[in-house]
Structure 1
Amino acid sequence: MRSRLHAAFGSLRYLAVSCMLAVSIAPAGSAQAFDWAQQAPVAGTGNERTDGDAVGEPVGELDPGAPIVDRDFGVSTRSAGLDRQVEMYQWRLHRGEYQRVWNAARIDSSDFDDAHRNPPFLLDNRRWWSDDARLDGRPVDQEVLQALGEWRVFRPGFSRLPLNMAATFQPEGDGLGSAENPLQPQIGDLRIRWRELVLPPLQGRVVFRDGAWRLRPSAAPGAAHAAAPAAARGAAAASRSGSSDDGTLSWWWLSLPLVLLLILALWRRSPKGKR
């Protein structure tokens, strides 16, 4: 009887050691599998290489190309875009009362009385985009500029202001204004501001395709972060929870031999077990 108990005890001890080795090895293997699932390219996210794509991530900075010029005012910038904003001081009817306001578009005054008619809006708001921007010597699709660019106000120099504009406008704040006294503008006065386009680093945001750098779908404004496939998400959840839905053993079952070994050791220590 004692020899049988020794044999059973030895078998359980061997099984317990094997289970402990499995428990120590399994997490590392699961982590490696999860890392592989995270690093593998996901179709449709812009991380995969496309046919004919022989260029990796960009390494340089954006070259916006030739200066962009607002020829009406001689204002120029070496950024990837130029934006002219024009406002006119005009009448607005609000809750039955006439108010004087700056507005970026002409307010329709056709229903106003004769004393509160707004003059024509003589200057347009305009926006220019670079058409020869390059990155690492290769063209950049204009969609990249429009999607990722940020408009920032800048104060241009007015050394090239045409004479006809110089007779009407003078520097005011960061731009130009037509009011003789900027603190007391009159109906019909204009003020103009310019903004230039600034882009963030484009690494990870563009992919070279069809001869130009183009916007990655995952970098488009409002796009959610690229999601892993359902299988990868399931593997990650199983790795974090310690359980699995595909039939593999859970940690609770792996610990069962250790419990049996403990019960056997206590039984051998008892007076009944020593007989």
Structure 2
Amino acid sequence: MKWTIYFLLLLCITSCSDSKSKKNTQITPVSYIKEAPTLDGRPIENYWNLLEWQPIDQNWIGGPFDHGDYNGKYKMAWNEDGLYILLEIVDDTLLEQTEDPLKLWWNDDCVIVYVDEDNSGGQHRFNHNAFTYHVALDGNVVDLGVNEKPTLYNDHVISKHQTEGNTTYWEMHVKVYPSIFNDKPTVKPVVLSEGKRIGFAIAYADNDNSKKRENLIGSVFVPGENKNAGWIDANVFGTLELLK
């Protein structure tokens, strides 16, 4: 009887530990391209037509939204130099109210790219175990640095967008940096290869005309009450699998 109780207790502890460390199981295959797209917000390269759209439809912050106000999706490709992302965002109001890119950057309309190079999960608030890149309408890219202050990472994510009516097309090149990155230029981005798995999510912050963002809509389902966990916890990211 004593050994039975011990075994059940050990099983419970193991299960609880696994549940805390379990990663999001959403896996997205990503196709290889030889030539990088021209980053101009105009997806005229033929290979974009061959790739499947993925939805950005999980409401992480805010109340219900109308698809006339917001609708979003993305496509991805890769080569040795990094990830390439095409987004189609339907948004009837594009708002950029804060001139200083290092102040209140999360309240303007922006795309947020979450990257975990080794797909290890874990906390990353003031380290680069993973990144949360806020890509603003003016092209500035903000995340928290190892000094615990907002920092520009404009050389990590290069983006261009074009708006026609209520639809904005974004094209992005995301360089993938390792967890040892310490905000020093001596640490270079990794060279991507077939079979690599990368933790990843993408989201859109929507603000029509408020002091604070009204919605944050993401690409992966996040269980529990705190849907906006990705900015500090890479365990909720999905996984990219690089294929050729």
- TM tier relative to shorter chain: under 0.3
Normalization by structure 1: what TM-score? 0.19
Flag the structure with higher strand content.
Answer: 2
TM-score, structure 2 length as denominator? 0.20
Q: Which fold has the larger relative contact order, with Cα–Cα distance below 8 Å and residues 6 or more apart in sequence?
A: 2
Please tell me whether Structure 1 or Structure 2 has the larger radius of gyration of its CA atoms: 1
